[in-house]
Amino acid sequence: MDAEQILQVRHAFPFFEEVPDQQWEQSGVQLINLSAQPAVIGEGHLFEHASFVLRGCVRIYKISSAGKELTLYRVRKGEFCVIMIASILGETGYEAIAEIEEETELLVLPVRLFREWMQDYKGLSSFIYRMFIKRMVSVAGLAEDMAFQSMDHRVAQWLLKKAKDHADAPLYVTHDSISKDLGTAREVISKVLKGFERRGWIRMARGKVYISQRAELERLISW
């Protein structure tokens, strides 16, 4: 790795400042680019490298015996997949599926080196543990929503979260993508969205959803 690449890594993951430059140059660490495509890592995969996302987005999901997909979380810049790390540390097969959603750049460390650096650099090990806690909380929240919240509530919550950074712009989403995130059938999502549209809360076009009455969606999820 050259000096510019090392700087890029440290910008995304500040704790890597602890690692001296010469170790980057001699470690066999690589930066790799992956284009958006179908799943790149399947269940049961045994990792030879630990990966950290420098840019892009990776969706981590499971598939039920009935064939329904459920998104567990997404990994973006400055993050890693905790299920991957658990697989590496436990020397077990991967318990999820990883799919590149947009062009993604990864920092990859050989497993042997990753284990050494976890022992040698406190910043790395602390970051790993913090991310584990963060993901445990988010997945526990997902399980709670699935168990106790209506689908209307969950879809409204999903739309509002998606619209958080989009102001009044349309959301470029499909019924299929929502169903995969929420772990249900596409037909269920279509029914809920049509109900919202009849009430005047949203307006739908091909591949787009416009939020017309944000306050009504917020009221729904506050019940």
Q: Which string of DSSP letters, residue by residue, matches 73-106?
A: EEEETTB--HHHHHHHHHT----SEEEEEEEEEE
> Is residue 172's pLDDT more than 70?
yes
pLDDT band of 88, cuts 50, 70, 90: very high
User: 124 falls in which pLDDT band (50, 70, 90)?
Assistant: very high
Tokens for 80, please give them: 């890693």
Q: What is the pLDDT of residue 40?
A: 82
- pLDDT attached to residue 22: 86
- For residue 170, give the DSSP letter: P
Largest CA distance in the chain: 63
Per-state percent for the chain, helix, strand, coil, to nearest 5:
50, 25, 25
Domains in the chain, start-ordered, CATH in brackets?
Answer: 3-147 (2.60.120.10), 149-222 (1.10.10.10)
**DSSP type of residue 66:** T
Task: Find out whether 32 and 58 touch, Cβ atoms under 8 Å.
Answer: no
Between these two residues, 170 and 53, which has the higher pLDDT value?
A: 53
Name residue 61's beta-bridge partners: 71, 97
Dihedral over Cα of 191, 196, 200, 201: its sign: negative
Q: Are 19 and 43 in contact (CB under 8 A)?
A: no
Among the ranges given (38-42, 58-62, 66-70, 217-221), the one the predictor scored with the smallest mean pLDDT:
38-42
Q: Report CA 217 to chain centroid distance, whole Å.
A: 24
Measured distance CA(179)–CA(90) in Å, rounded: 32
What's the pTM?
0.85
Average pLDDT score over residue span 28-32 = 90
Mean of the per-residue pLDDT values of the chain: 92
| Residue 169: band (very low, low, confident or very high) from pLDDT cuts 50, 70, 90 | confident
Over residues 181-185, the mean pLDDT reads 91
pLDDT confidence tier of residue 42, bands split at 50, 70 and 90: very high
From residue 24, alpha-carbon distances to 79, 115, 126, 191 in Å are 19, 15, 20, 53
Question: Cα dihedral sign for 129, 89, 96, 110?
Answer: positive
Confidence of residue 76 (pLDDT cuts 50, 70, 90): very high
Q: CA-to-CA distance for 70 and 41, rounded, in angstroms?
A: 16
**Does the pLDDT of residue 165 top 70, yes or no?**
no
* Structural contact between residues 165 and 147, judged by C-beta atoms closer than 8 angstroms: no
| pLDDT for residue 122 | 95
Given a cut of 80, is residue 185 above it in pLDDT? yes
